Amino acid sequence: MLEAPPIALASSFRIVLEGCASSDLDSIKPLEHAARRACATAGLTPVGEARHHYAPHGWTLVLILKESHLAIHTWPEYGAAVVELLSCRPDTPIDALAEIFKSELNAAGARVSRDEINVKN
């Protein structure tokens, strides 16, 4: 007998941003702005939020979404940031979102990866 196809739970996306100005990564405003713009562009709906500033520097901003969650972590000391997005919408326009984060955080480069999360049927 043929096995039932797996159930797709979510798509997991990651954007690694490099070559950012440290000052852009140690302020919550550009992160918030980038996150809100990304959600609006992709039709993702924030329903909860948490944030934390690390000593001596660096931020984590997490938005819970109707479609799962988006987390941004920054490492000002390396000029780097990582965006992780879990979304139940496989058609999430991740390349457009990477461009938004790259531009809002003045990054030299953005690397995108994705992975599908499935469970047995």
Helix/strand/coil (H, E, C) string of the chain?
CCCCCCEEEEEEEEEEEECCCHHHHCCHHHHHHHHHHHHHHHCCCEEEEEEEECCCCCEEEEEEECCEEEEEEEEHHHCEEEEEEEECCCCCCHHHHHHHHHHHCCCCEEEEEEEEEEECC
Using CB under 8 A as the binding rule, whether residue 75 contacts a copy of itself is answered as: yes
Using CB under 8 A as the binding rule, whether residue 54 contacts a copy of itself is answered as: yes
Whether residue 27 lies in the annotated active site = no
Whether residue 88 lies in the annotated active site = yes
Using CB under 8 A as the binding rule, whether residue 21 contacts a copy of itself is answered as: no
Smallest distance from a copy of itself to CB 1, Å: 20
Whether residue 68 lies in the annotated active site = yes
Using CB under 8 A as the binding rule, whether residue 69 contacts a copy of itself is answered as: yes
